[in-house]
Amino acid sequence: MRGPPLSFFCRFTAPIAGIAIASFHISGYLAGVANPEELIGKFESRDAVVGVIGLGYVGLPLAATIAEAGFSSVGFDTDEKKIAALLAGRSYIRHVDGARLGGLIGKAPGESGGFHPSSDYALLDRCDAVLICVPTPLTDGRDPDLSYVRNTAETISQHLRAGQLVVLESTTYPGTTEEVVRPILERSGLSAGRDFFLAFSPEREDPNNPDFSTKTIPKLVGGVTPDCGRVATALYSSVIEQVIPVSDAKVAEAAKLLENIYRSVNIALVNELKVLFQKMDINIWEVIEAASSKPFGFTPFYPGPGLGGHCIPIDPFYLSWRARQYEMVTKFIELAGEVNHSMPDYVVERLGDALNERGKSLKGSKVLILGVAYKRDIDDDRESPAFRLMELLRRKQAVLSYHDPYVPALRPSRRYDFGLESVPLDAKCLGDADAVVIVTDHSNVDYSFVVQHAQLVVDTRNATRDLGASGGRVVLA
């Protein structure tokens, strides 16, 4: 077994991202059996340093919330531009206020409620808890890509000491924490449940949700051992308003997948009905509103141009992949994926038909995409259905432009590189376009102005529902 570095018994003066550390007091965890009660006590008294790896849409608000709860929080990221922005008090995520971060970063390191961004992973050995918030994408073959999780676990393993808590928050298939993360961490010579504590607690972020925040969204926690679960519960209970312990990490992993699969399947259902009801000349939006009048037994879901974000388009296939290892095919998940993935094709079909009725073809038509973020009023364009839609339109040789008040330029990704910047949404821009396709219904867009000046509007979000007569310029898709 391995004990902590000698420097753990000293007062630290090494810098965190250029700021001198005022004294971190690390109570000495020696090699051998870790005492869960000692770490629980540190969490309850807020006398603990909590590290968060990955300062994206999940990790950044989590690290800030932890600091606001009275802990000293260290945020780790490999992107030096992010670290520089944070140290300057600037936020790169719209719904995370820069002034909020500036107040936390301005505090002296080691001071209660301080947040310290850093790219120096050597500082992990000063953390009492390390929370992993890294991406879990799919490969091109729709298999889980756990490279970020594995690499992060390898890094933690190099700095792991007895008495620490490690929690995976990244969404993944049941068994990942136990079968993937644990063996990597135990290469340190320490044993999970005896020398250090390991748990899974799924992120449940919903960016820009006006009713729920990181602090108020109930938190599931499952440990690989009962003590691991108790220790992790103690940490989150000091930060989050409601913490719900479950029996083990696999239950917590499965619960997060169920949440997202539930949404994926129900969205696929209304997307399929949208296509059917359009053929029957029935407005799906009015149907959903009518069905929602039933006070029990019905939960409304809404159709759209496809799925977006880092959860619903991806997470269900983690379980599909896992199911194949048990010689089972998850038919609902696969069918929902097929239906939702086909929605951009349906939008292009509706657009093509609408242009054809006006004596135009898609080839050479100017198409303005209105909104590329994956949902309303955020700047997150990950897995946005707008990109698949734009790819299909380019194949048909349409001339593309886009407007999004929150996404000023389209960054290259591993699948797409459109090289476009957001254009102004003025009368000339709208009038010059042969068609405007509403993909994301941002609330700060004047849709009456859009309909007034556009030649044709293809509305995938029912954003024009309250505008009344439109002279036949609006087509739902």
Residue 26 has pLDDT above 70, yes or no: no
Residue listed under structure tokens 């990244």: 170
Q: Pick from 256, 267, 200, 193: which is nearest to 227 by CA?
A: 193
> SS3 helix, strand, coil % of the chain, rounded to 5?
40, 15, 50
* Three-state SS at 412: coil
- What amino acid occupies position 249? A
CB count within 10 Å of CB 340 equals: 25
Which tens digits make up the pLDDT trace of 156-181? 999 999 999 999 999 999 999 999 99
Give the strands of the sheet with 72-76, arranged side by side: 115-118, 72-76, 49-53, 129-132, 165-168, 197-200, 219-223, 243-245
Contact 463, 370 (CB under 8 A): no
CA distances 4 to 43, 124, 159, 415, Å, are 19, 12, 9, 44
127 is catalytic: no
Candidate list 127, 133, 228, 311, residue with the active-site label: 311
pLDDT at residue number 310? 81
Higher pLDDT, 218 or 12: 218
pLDDT at residue number 4? 34
pLDDT at residue number 272? 98
Least confident of 33-37, 257-261, 307-311, 391-395: 307-311
Which tens digits make up the pLDDT trace of 53-92? 999 999 999 999 999 999 999 999 999 999 999 999 899 9
- Residue 462 binned pLDDT confidence (cut-offs 50, 70, 90): very high
CB count within 10 Å of CB 164 equals: 26
Give the separation between CA 339 and CA 150, rounded to whole angstroms.
32
pLDDT at residue number 319? 95
The token duo for 85 is: 């922005």
- How large a percentage of the chain has pLDDT more than 70? 92
Q: Please compute the mean of the pLDDT values over residues 204-233 and round it to a whole number.
A: 95
* Three-state SS at 270: helix
pLDDT at residue number 209? 87
Long-range pairs for 103-109 at CB < 8 Å and ≥24 separation? Answer: 104/64, 104/67, 104/68, 104/73, 108/22, 109/16, 109/19, 109/20, 109/21, 109/22, 109/24, 109/72
Q: Please compute the mean of the pLDDT values over residues 292-298 and round it to a whole number.
A: 97
In the chain the domains, ranked by start, together with CATH numbers, are 6-247 (3.40.50.720), 263-476 (3.40.50.720)
Give 6's contacts (C-beta < 8 A, 6+ positions apart): none
